[in-house]
Amino acid sequence: MARNIGRFLVLIAAALIYSSALASSIFQPISDSHRSAALELFNPLGGSFSSVEKTYEELRTFEVLGIDKRSDISTAACQSVSEILGSSSSTLKDLFYALKVNGILQCGIKEDVFEGVASRLQSVVGGASALLDFYYSVGGLVLIKGQTSKDDLYLSDAEGVFRSIKALSQSDGRWRYNSNNPESSTFAAGLALEALAGIVSLSSSEIDQSLISTTKNDILKLFDSIEKYDDGAFYFDEKLVGAREHQGALSTTSSVVRGLTAFAAVTSGSLNLPSGKILGLAKFFLGIGIPGDAKDLFNQVDSLAFLESNTVSIPLILSLPATVLSLTKKDALKVKVNTVLGSNAPPLTVNLLQVLRSGSKDTSLIESQELKFDPEIAVYTLDAMPKSVDVGKYTFVFEMVLHDSDHKNLYATGGRIRIPIFVTGVIEVDSAEIAVLDSDLGSIETKKKIDLAGENTVSLSANHLQKLRLSFQLSTPLGHAFKPHQAILKLTHETKVEHMFVMGSSGKQFEIILDFLGQVEKFFYLSGRYNVQLAVGDAVMENSFLKAIGHVDLDLPAPPEKAPQPPAQPLDPNLIYGPKAEIAHIFRAPEKLPPKKLSLTFSGLTLLPFLGFLVGLLRLGVNLKNFPSSSVPAVFATLFHLGIAAVLSLYMLFWLKLDLFTTLKALSFLGAFLMFVGHRILSHLASSSSKLKSA
């Protein structure tokens, strides 16, 4: 049980730190953990994926993460791409993703194949009415333009197509999939913005700026419906009820980010989106951690790649390699600033504005300080913790200041960033003693000092008219009073019945007095030896401990008739699941057998009836003169005699090894067979005999 309490204290500390980390705004850029997850999740069966879409998702994820796996799948992927682009029956979706795969692998598709696909896509654009048809056909044309040497690939009526797609937009910034469907979708808005961006790039002339301005207003309206978490993450959620396939927050937000960044890249002027919302989108994708699904990982990584290079506002992520700092080890506060994919940030300064104690709102323990930057490792450092910072939980408030004024409109820093920090240290334990007090006078009968940093073997005795007192003091490295999360006194009877008591405190002093007279029922009137243990633990206490102090021999009165009984103790698992005692079997002694010669003589005598049968046949003059000469009766006669031989053989097998039920089962089949063939041969003999008599 002592081991269980020790584990319990460790779990408490870990849970407190972990829960605070979850509730805080700690975000980490893309790391090697994402690369390991990608290698595990994207594992095609037989070296190829089930669709060209999944192939693109793998290649794109590996491309963003810097994993070179092209050679492993390029042969199969390029073969699939060639087949899709060369087939006139390929769907628009397959053509779109085949072109995306080719953009990464460069499969060497011939120009005439591109021309055929482009001609087909242009005809689809001209007659399209559904958003997905526009999305795949326009997107395919944009990809062909980027993968071929044709600079004259334009839409003949780009502005008209733009208006056709724009007609599907709604007043709240969302879009419909087609004109016949009244339901609007946030996911569809991202697809529409991508398609519109493609039309702008495929237009031979400038699109009407009023259409561009209207679309920008649609984007602002769409962002009015954005949702927010408490940690500052922003996301979009799909509200479409009648959709054929529900899109979650991750895929919906990813669609909007792709559309937003694509449209911003091909249009001039600002979108007037708050940089905080762009940073909030990055926090949403990073706050997911490492997805366990390949599609989710692709959406996360692909969206972060677009945010990394977008023209609206590039998010900068402030992260801490460690949020638990030790005063004992004199840990330095280290801060890193990166883009969402882990690239180095532009020149900037990181300031520590405030250090707030947990529970305090505005009172800072320090003045604003600038962190030192080490360019070799790209880390900002505060070498020494402020002297006013003691062990405990704090909120550190940081601020990033860009050096170049032109970068303020290019990067999103997020203003003040609040991050919880745990400061740990060794807690000093003093003045620990245990005593037995007289119940009436309160005088000390027995008192012993204990060393809570070492080993103790205190032996005490008391009766129900006395009290047990345990006291000690806790202080922080700066000499302040310290109140841990757990301070528990445990008494364990020799019958394994346990009693736990929470210790109270006043300042540095912790004390508990057990009045045995008032605790006799709780102790179930059990006299005898009680082992005494003390457990003190906290998330910021580096020397949390569970110490055995000694034992106390307690003499309690005899229990009355209706006294409560101690609870049943759990059985030892070894008694239930451990090895059982070996079972020694006593077998019956074998019966005494007759002598071997006698057994052989008896077996020989059993053959005498068979010999007598043969002699009788010879005396009767048995012969084969009446054996049928014609073919069919001869076959039945032969089968009849073989059946008789089989029955005799079955009797012999029954005698040697077969059991009665097996023998009867086989005999039933042989009997039916003999009845059939015997009837046929006897009918033949009777017919022959009658013919002879009539002759």
Residue 508's CATH number: 2.60.40
Containing domain of residue 140, as a range?
49-153
The verdict on residue 297 lying in a domain is yes
- At 45 the pLDDT is 58
* Selection from 452, 462, 474 nearest residue 534 by Cα: 452
Same domain, 453 and 414: no
- Give the tens place of pLDDT for each residue, 262-274: 999 999 888 889 9
- At 153 the pLDDT is 81
Higher pLDDT, 250 or 153: 250
- At 242 the pLDDT is 54
Confidence band, pLDDT 50/70/90 cuts, at residue 13: very low
Same domain, 77 and 145: yes
Higher pLDDT, 164 or 637: 164
- At 188 the pLDDT is 94
The verdict on residue 126 lying in a domain is yes
Higher pLDDT, 260 or 634: 260
The verdict on residue 267 lying in a domain is yes
The verdict on residue 4 lying in a domain is no
Model confidence pTM above 0.75: no
The verdict on residue 495 lying in a domain is yes
Asked whether the predicted pLDDT for residue 2 surpasses 60, the reply is no
- Give the tens place of pLDDT for each residue, 449-497: 999 988 888 999 999 999 999 999 999 999 999 999 999 999 999 999 9
Least confident of 7-16, 28-37, 202-211, 670-679: 7-16
- At 655 the pLDDT is 84
- Give the tens place of pLDDT for each residue, 404-435: 988 988 999 988 999 999 999 999 999 999 99
The verdict on residue 471 lying in a domain is yes
Residue 175's CATH number: 1.50.10.20
Asked whether the predicted pLDDT for residue 325 surpasses 60, the reply is yes
Confidence band, pLDDT 50/70/90 cuts, at residue 576: confident
- Give the tens place of pLDDT for each residue, 204-225: 888 999 999 999 999 999 999 9
CA distance 489 to 527: 19
- At 9 the pLDDT is 47
Sign of CA dihedral 254, 257, 262, 265: negative
Same domain, 185 and 244: yes
Query: 106 is written with which tokens?
Result: 């460069």
Higher pLDDT, 507 or 23: 507
- At 441 the pLDDT is 67
The mean per-residue pLDDT over the stretch 78-106 comes to 93
Query: 352 is written with which tokens?
Result: 């520590």
Same domain, 179 and 202: yes
- pLDDT above 90 covers a percentage of the chain that reads 61
Same domain, 329 and 303: no
CA distance 375 to 383: 15
Confidence band, pLDDT 50/70/90 cuts, at residue 637: confident
CA distance 266 to 635: 97
The verdict on residue 2 lying in a domain is no
Higher pLDDT, 606 or 5: 606
Q: How many domains does the chain fold into?
A: 5
Same domain, 278 and 292: yes
Same domain, 567 and 643: no
Residue 363's CATH number: 2.60.40.1930
Instruction: Say if residues 25 and 231 touch (Cβ distance below 8 Å).
Output: yes
Query: 2 is written with which tokens?
Result: 């002592």
- At 179 the pLDDT is 87
Same domain, 113 and 166: no
- At 346 the pLDDT is 95
Asked whether the predicted pLDDT for residue 365 surpasses 80, the reply is yes
Asked whether the predicted pLDDT for residue 12 surpasses 70, the reply is no
Same domain, 408 and 271: no
- At 575 the pLDDT is 76
- At 245 the pLDDT is 58
Least confident of 1-15, 115-129, 256-270, 499-513: 1-15
Asked whether the predicted pLDDT for residue 106 surpasses 80, the reply is yes
Torsion, CA 204, CA 210, CA 214, CA 217, rounded to 10 = 110
CA distance 391 to 541: 8
Q: What stretch of H or E contains 101?
A: helix 92-105
Last residue of a domain, one of 261, 287, 312: 312
Instruction: Say if residues 13 and 538 touch (Cβ distance below 8 Å).
Output: yes
The verdict on residue 600 lying in a domain is no
- At 600 the pLDDT is 86
Give the 3-state secondary structure of 552-601: EEEECCCCCCCCCCCCCCCCCHHHHHCCCCCCCCCCCCCCCCCCHHHHHH
Same domain, 88 and 73: yes
Query: Which residue in this structure is represented by tokens 């929470």?
Result: 502
Higher pLDDT, 327 or 363: 327
Same domain, 557 and 447: yes
Mean pLDDT in the chain? 88
Same domain, 477 and 568: yes
Amino acid at 102: N
Query: Which residue in this structure is represented by tokens 């085949």?
Result: 98
DSSP state letter for 453: T
Last residue of a domain, one of 577, 608, 634: 577
Sign of CA dihedral 503, 504, 509, 511: negative
The mean per-residue pLDDT over the stretch 341-346 comes to 93
Last residue of a domain, one of 312, 345, 380: 312
Least confident of 23-32, 177-186, 502-511, 666-675: 23-32
Least confident of 42-56, 221-235, 373-387: 42-56
- At 16 the pLDDT is 44
